[in-house]
Structure 1
Amino acid sequence: MTEAETTPINGLDWVQQRSIGALAERMGMEFVEFTVERAVATLPVEGNTQPVGLMHGGAYVVLGESLGSMAANLYAGPGRLAVGVDINATHTRSATAGTVTGVCTPIHLGRSMTVHEIVISDDQGRRCSTVRITNMLRDLPAQAPTV
C-alpha cells in the first residue's frame, strides 16, 4: 500500500514532522497546502535575488525541487525514499518583489518513479518558472540489528 492510499488527514503535519530542510528554512519557504495530489509553498523574493534585483533562477529550482521531492516522499510511503534523478526548469518571467507561489502536481505516480510539474507564479498570478522533477522510489535498507 502506498502513502497515497494512507495519506495523513493533514499533510502539513507530515511536512512539519519531516522538516522542510535547512536550505528551505533559510530561504523563507512556507508550505501552505500538502497532499499527494497537490502541494503548495511560497517563497519571498526579498533575500532570494540576483545582484540586479531579479528572483534568482536557482531559487525557483529550490522551490520546485523542495515541493516535488517532498510530494514524492509522501507518495512513497513508510519504508521508502524518493531520490531525485532529474530536474529541469524554464524561467519565463522574473519576479522583483513580493512572494512567489509554487503549485506542484503529479504527472506520473508509479511504483518506482514519480514525475511532478511545479508552476511558480508571482503575486499577480503570472507564471515565472516551470519546473519538472523526476524522483526514483527506493526501499530503505533494513536496519542492522544492534548488538
Structure 2
Amino acid sequence: MKVLRYDNKRIVIAKILIENITSIFEILPNNVQILNIKCWEQVAFATILALRSFERGTNKAKTVKGEILLRASGTLQIKDAISQVGAKEGENFLVAIGEHAEEDLRDIVIKTSAKELPIVDCEEEKVKELFERAALVDVL
C-alpha cells in the first residue's frame, strides 16, 4: 500500500487482483474508488485533482468518486470514464480517502478475497502522459 497526504487528507492506494468484480461494488464505501489503470501515480494524481476540484468548486462530477474517474480518464462523461478506467476483472487499484483509509482497504481485500499485489513505479514518460490526460478535465 502507498500512503500519501494531501491537505491533511490521508490517501491510501492498494493494487489488487480480483476475479469477481461484481462482489466489490456491493461493499465499496463512499470513500473508496476502484480503477483499472496501469500506474499508481495516475491514481494518486487523479485523486488529488478530484479533491482540489471540490475545494475550489470546479468539480464536474457530483461525488469525489465520480470526479476521480473523470480525472483518471481525462474525459467529462462518466459513462466514458467507466468504460476507460472503471473496474474490470484482474488487476485494479483501490484508492481510499480518510483517516481510516488503510483499514477500509484491508476490509475490502478480505471481504472480496482479492489478492494484494506489490505496487511498482511507472516509467517517468508514461507518468507525464497520464498526468497531462488527468489535467485535461480542467480545460475541457
TM-score normalised by L of structure 2: 0.30
Structure index of larger Rg = 1
More helix by share: 2
* Structure number with higher relative contact order (C-alpha < 8 Å, ≥ 6 residues apart): 2
TM-score normalised by L of structure 1: 0.29
More strand by share: 1
